[in-house]
Structure 1
């Protein structure tokens, strides 16, 4: 049970879903941010951006955000959940493009502290073909998910352990996005 009374059935609205319903005025802004970061036109695919969100959420040990964004990434990547699990376990050995690996290193640095993002990490990403927009968006996705993770866990929301519980949201996110 959440630390505060959200006035809803948490089993039907776990994690950030319930928090957004509790405070729709803040939920709308958070949903709009997620929509731009994860679904708007970008040279990084929605699956790659969801993978960054899932990886950061896993590093933050946020069960709800990790499992939900892992499901969203898997649904949008040809290699599915197998690749998501490999990346989240060890991006250095996962079968992903070098550019994505370099961007994940930047996301990992952001997860520790924004000050951990070095010129060397940025130069390495650029050397693999990352654009300034991709670097920017990687940093912002990682930073936003640190906030989302702390929001979800800081209020003690329900986070189903069973990954199948997150599948119902996949169709909604893929068809309606984060603002639908």
Structure 2
């Protein structure tokens, strides 16, 4: 049960967006930019970074949600279960492995991102923009995870909840939830 009365039955961060649409807008825009805007990193790669950080933070809602978002966008032949089982031997690029190591360092403490981690990423052709975006995704998901868990939002047990949301995200992105949240708030005000 959430620590505050959010006034809706939405799970996780969605409940907080419905509670306070004024903050939902900027947070959703940040997620849309980081995870879906044009980039040299594929959408699934950026979602995997978000998933990894959420797992490290033990945020069940975000880890499960973004794992579903990752899976829904994986290229044929890749299996998220295999990737998550052991990142070191996962069938992903060395560049993505290096970026995931940077994300894990950010999750611990921004000062854990060392020149060695950056050099390792550059050695496998990570660009400055990819390194920047990895650090920002990791930092943002630390915030999102703490937001979700800090207010004890609900976590659905039904796997269909996550796969349905994943299909909607692939189709529509992160921004439609903001309009839903604003409509919910307007209806509550009546």
Mapped pair 1:174 → 2:163: no
Instruction: Report if the CA contact (8 A) 1:50-1:69 is conserved.
Output: yes
How far apart, CA to CA, are the structure 2 residues paired with 1:109 and 1:90?
17
Name the structure 1 match of 2:138: 142
1:20 to 13, 17, 20: 17
Instruction: Report if the CA contact (8 A) 1:57-1:146 is conserved.
Output: yes
Q: How many residues align?
A: 176
Name the structure 2 match of 1:72: 69
Mapped pair 1:37 → 2:34: yes
Mapped pair 1:119 → 2:122: no
Q: Deviations over 1:49-89 (max 9, x none)?
A: 00100111011111110011000111111257x63223333
Please give the TM-score of this superposition, normalised by the length of structure 2: 0.89
How far apart, CA to CA, are the structure 1 residues paired with 2:76 and 2:56?
22
Shift of 1:164: 2.8
Name the structure 1 match of 2:129: 133
User: Which structure exhibits the higher relative contact order, with contacts defined as CA atoms closer than 8 Å and separated by 6 or more residues?
Assistant: 2
Please give the TM-score of this superposition, normalised by the length of structure 1: 0.94
Shift of 1:117: 0.2
Shift of 1:163: 2.9
Structure 2 residue runs of 5 or longer lacking an equivalent are: 177-190
CA RMSD of aligned residues (A): 1.3
